[in-house]
Amino acid sequence: MSDIIQLLPDHVANQIAAGEVVQRPASVVKELLENSIDADATSITLLLKNAGKTLIQIIDNGKGMSTTDARLCFDRHATSKIRNAQDLFNLKTKGFRGEALASIAAIAHVELKTKQDNDELGTAIKIEGSTIVSQEPASTAKGTSIAVKNLFYNIPARRNFLKSDTIETRHIIDEFQRVALAHPAISFLLHHNDNEIYHLKESNLRKRIVSIFGSKMNEKLVPINEQTDILTITGFVAKPEFSKKKRGEQFFFVNDRFIKSSYLNHAVVNAFDGLLEYGAHPSYFLYLDVPPNSIDINIHPTKTEIKFDNEKALYAILRATVKHSLGQYNVAPVLDFNRDSNLDTPYDFKDKKTVSTPKIIVDPTFNPFKNDVNDQQMTSNSSSGSSTKNYQSNYKKETGSWESLYANIEPIEQSTQEQLFEQQQETETGKTFQIQKKYLLSSIKSGVVLIHQSLAHQRILYEEFLENITVKEASSQQLLFPVTIGFSSADIEMIYSIKSDLESTGFVFNEFTKESVVIGGIPTSITESKITLILEQLLDDMKIEVPDASFSHFDVMAKSFAKSLAIKTGTSLSVKEQENLVNNLFSCKEPSTSPFGKATFKTLTLNEIDTIFNK
């Protein structure tokens, strides 16, 4: 039998490796930004065209590379960070495996310009699909400039899997924010299609957070600072009243590397126990500094997951630290049931050295039995008829006031009681019933139907919004006073990109600034108090992987609006509201499922009900 196993060509192997490293333009941005940081850059510029599909260019003022290193860096597993396997557990840099540039060069056109500080000339290299097209000396500034053009040009199937420019830009901005938050001492500049999105100057952590998420973030932050033998925790958490319904601003950094950890997230949420509304999520920016040999960061291709040696200890310390800070800054109440509040010293007396003893004043003439004695004398004097009559008359005067409260109240007649009972019976035998403020039970000819009130309302609103957006002319209500809503620069960029779509639903935008949106009109179907909730929900839904089609934005909007405005579980509905909900649901084109594919109702026939009781 002939041999069937063979070695893959290098260019094919590089493309396979690129499948792990480069999933979308944001993956390229992450790898290149981390390379610039490893090169000790103090200023980094990111330029994008068409959400990175056409161009991703990183320009830094780092150490640069020699001619030999410039060419060698595109070879697979060529690295300056590792000499043996043990080095994997003592890493202090971002990149270390040496597969990023090789993978990127395998699926794009790459142009590299680099120069070290002491060199007169730098090096320029052009690569297309792992093939070096040219290498020559070049006059360039100190540092490195690398341009990645036409991503996935030689793998059209992978390019077809990319989402819309709006979604891909959002992913790039997410990666950019994570790197920028981890390194506030480095200045960053981000341009997309010649529009400046971020210009972050060198600053401290608090200023960096505010510059990314807007000036209103400053008042929300509570500082965190704790140092122990096994880790140091710094950063900020947001006050509970600023919690959000979406998991947006939640950042963990371990040794200046962004990570995802549901375990550590649970510790933070646990520290907010009793302070958050149901379904709300706290915002936090937490930096953990641990010994490099106590973690393993090589367990995931994107290095966003880390394995800790002592997870339980980290959990306990993190939870206690956040809880302590919330109490220290009077965000959370501190309860001590063993403390006697009578022993608390008022603030006015904290600086006084001596406290005067209070004087005790006693009334020597006080007789607690004086009134009882007079009453006994009054009742015992039966020989005096006038005294007895006076006492009885005084009693009637005293009791007359409260007896008069019941003077005009008549007992309920039997007919009234029967009428109330009949009304109650009539209500109980209505067509719909609400169960636990979550489900509606309605009788039909073949049996009963059980309806999920929130999912059913989502379906009704979804079809209404979709019809208003695509078929009918959108109607808008003008606001008496325009509403200004603060967003981060990235969110404003996303809102602006779908501005025309939002206007077709009835929104009227008066002004866009770097940190806010001024709204002058809203669709007639929503209220002013819901504007912020709807836009935040819409931004969150825009990150969902939806196909890039001309209809997709309208569909996402309709779904987002329906989710935001639908009645929630726990809402009590009147009989009339219940009947309207049932009638409107079965008037829909697709009444059986919600906009997100969940069942809205379940029918139980009489035979199925009989089967339950005949077992």
144 with 234, same domain?
Answer: no
Which string of DSSP letters, residue by residue, matches 175-202?
A: HHHHHHHH-TTSEEEEEETTEEEEEEPS
Among residues 469, 441, 461, the alpha carbon closest in space to that of 560 is found at: 461
The type of residue at 42 is: T
Q: In which band, very low, low, confident or very high, does the pLDDT at 55 lie, cut at 50, 70 and 90?
A: very high
Largest CA distance in the chain: 137
447 with 551, same domain?
Answer: yes
**Final residue in a domain of this structure, among 290, 310, 328:** 328
Q: In which band, very low, low, confident or very high, does the pLDDT at 549 lie, cut at 50, 70 and 90?
A: very low
61 with 175, same domain?
Answer: yes
- 271 phi-psi bin (left φ>0, alpha ψ -120 to 50, beta other): alpha
Give residue 372's pLDDT: 53
User: What mean pLDDT is predicted for residues 198-206?
Assistant: 93
The type of residue at 28 is: V
Give residue 551's pLDDT: 46
Q: In which band, very low, low, confident or very high, does the pLDDT at 390 lie, cut at 50, 70 and 90?
A: low
Q: In which band, very low, low, confident or very high, does the pLDDT at 424 lie, cut at 50, 70 and 90?
A: very low
285 with 144, same domain?
Answer: no
| Range of 174-183, 256-265, 482-491, 529-538 with top mean pLDDT | 174-183
- CATH number, domain of 196, equals 3.30.565.10
User: What mean pLDDT is predicted for residues 525-554?
Assistant: 69
Provide the percentage of residues in the chain whose pLDDT is more than 70.
Answer: 76
Flag whether 374 is in a domain.
no
User: What mean pLDDT is predicted for residues 384-388?
Assistant: 48
Sign of CA pseudo-dihedral 508, 510, 512, 516: negative
Give residue 548's pLDDT: 42
Least confident piece of the model among 184-188, 326-330, 448-452: 326-330
15 with 126, same domain?
Answer: yes
Domain carrying residue 226? 208-328
157 with 261, same domain?
Answer: no
CA distances to 73, 176, 444, 488 from 497, in Å: 37, 19, 47, 14
pTM of the model: 0.65
Least confident piece of the model among 94-98, 334-338, 540-544: 334-338
Please give the Cα distance from 34 to 56 (Å, whole number).
Answer: 14
CA-angle at 307, arms to 302 and 313, nearest 5°: 145
588 with 443, same domain?
Answer: yes
Flag whether 223 is in a domain.
yes
Q: In which band, very low, low, confident or very high, does the pLDDT at 546 lie, cut at 50, 70 and 90?
A: very low
| pLDDT averaged over every residue in the chain | 79
When comparing pLDDT for 469 and 411, which is higher? 469
**Reduced DSSP (H G I as helix, E B as strand, rest coil) percent helix, strand, coil of the chain, to 5:** 40, 20, 35
CA-angle at 281, arms to 451 and 325, nearest 5°: 150
- CATH number, domain of 305, equals 3.30.230.10
Give residue 114's pLDDT: 94
Task: Quick: pLDDT tens for 340-375.
Answer: 555 445 545 545 555 567 777 777 787 777 665 455
- Contact in structure between 534 and 525 (CB atoms under 8 Å): no
Q: In which band, very low, low, confident or very high, does the pLDDT at 547 lie, cut at 50, 70 and 90?
A: very low
**Final residue in a domain of this structure, among 281, 297, 328:** 328
Task: Quick: pLDDT tens for 146-162.
Answer: 999 999 888 888 888 88
Half-sphere exposure of 547 (CA within 13 A, CB side): 4
144 with 168, same domain?
Answer: yes
**Final residue in a domain of this structure, among 200, 218, 245:** 200
Give residue 550's pLDDT: 41
